[in-house]
Amino acid sequence: MIVTKRIYEPVGERDGYRVLIDRLWPRGVSKTAARLDEWAKALAPSNELRKWYEHDPAKWEEFQRRYAQELDNPESQAVLDTLAKRARRGRVTLLYSTREATISNAEALAHMLEAHGARAHASGHR
């Protein structure tokens, strides 16, 4: 099961495997407090894509297309495959820092992982 969660939200007992999927470390969060199992920088959008996108809802569809294209490489695909397998056995929480939950890279990545049969909706988080 894949869920998404803002890293600034409290760590939950039900979070399962916690993966930060941002390229930049979130401001104001200590590495201890984050309680990450993995920081998957290979799954983060490039700086160029992130700056182009700026979480503009009008660019959401194109962002998803470009993001998927960026992840179409052996390193990223290996990480995606590992997360999808892990998600079939238990909960994986994709952590992100933006306030724009429904148009975040985590949401886009969760949709990509759906193709692997790993995504489920849970506790109000998508």
Rounded Cα distance between 42 and 109, Å, is: 12
- H/E run at residue 50: helix 47-53
Using DSSP's 3-state secondary structure scheme, residue 3 falls into strand
Reported as a single tens digit per residue, the pLDDT across 55-99 is 999 999 999 999 999 999 999 988 999 999 999 999 999 999 999
What's the pTM? 0.86
Confidence check: pLDDT of 126 > 60: no
Q: What are phi and psi of 81, to 5 degrees?
A: -60, -45
pLDDT band at 115 (very low <50, low <70, confident <90, very high): confident
